[in-house]
Amino acid sequence: MSLSAVRAALSDLKNCQTDIGTGMDIVTDMAMDLAESQKAQGDPGIKAMEDIILECAKLDREINCFSHIVERVTSEVGREPPEAMFSLSARVKEQFAEKMASLSDTELENHNKVVAFKDSVANTLNQAKPGTVEDMEELDEDIAVTQSQVNFSCPLTQIEMVNPMRNKVCNHYYDEEAILGLIQTRHKQKKKCRCPVVGCGNTDVKQSDLILDQMLRRRIRNQKRDGNRM
Using the rule CB under 5 A, give the single segment among 37-45, 125-133, 148-156, 192-200 that binds Zn ion.
Answer: 192-200
Q: Which residue, 117 or 173, is less far from Zn ion as judged by CB?
A: 173
Using the rule CB under 5 A, give the single segment among 64-72, 109-117, 155-163, 172-180 that binds Zn ion.
Answer: 172-180
**Shortest separation between residue 193's beta carbon and Zn ion, angstroms:** 11
**Shortest separation between residue 154's beta carbon and Zn ion, angstroms:** 13
Q: Which residue, 104 or 203, is less far from Zn ion as judged by CB?
A: 203
Using the rule CB under 5 A, give the single segment among 22-30, 84-92, 166-174, 219-227 that binds Zn ion.
Answer: 166-174
**Shortest separation between residue 170's beta carbon and Zn ion, angstroms:** 3
**Shortest separation between residue 167's beta carbon and Zn ion, angstroms:** 6
Q: How far apart are CA 88 and CA 77, in angstroms?
A: 7
Using the rule CB under 5 A, give the single segment among 20-28, 107-115, 146-154, 164-172 that binds Zn ion.
Answer: 164-172
**Shortest separation between residue 173's beta carbon and Zn ion, angstroms:** 9
DSSP secondary structure string for all residues of the chain? --HHHHHHHHHHHHHHHHHHHHHHHHHHHHHHHHHHHH--TT-HHHHHHHHHHHHHHHHHHHHHHHHHHHHHHHHHHHTS-GGGGGGHHHHHHHHHHHHHHH--GGGGGGSHHHHHHHHHHHHHHHH--S--HHHHHHHHHHHHHHHHHS--B-TTT-SB-SSEEEETTT--EEEHHHHHHHHHHHHHTT------STT-------GGGEEE-HHHHHHHHHHHHHHHH-
Q: Are 120 and 214 in contact (CB under 8 A)?
A: yes
197 touches Zn ion by CB under 5 A? yes
Using the rule CB under 5 A, give the single segment among 72-80, 106-114, 162-170, 214-222 that binds Zn ion.
Answer: 162-170
221 touches Zn ion by CB under 5 A? no
170 touches Zn ion by CB under 5 A? yes
Kind and range of the H or E run holding 167 = strand 164-167
DSSP code of residue 166 = E
186 touches Zn ion by CB under 5 A? no
Interacting residue with Zn ion among 200, 206, 209, 221 (CB under 5 A): 200
Q: Which residues bind Zn ion (CB under 5 A)?
A: 170, 172, 195, 197, 200, 202
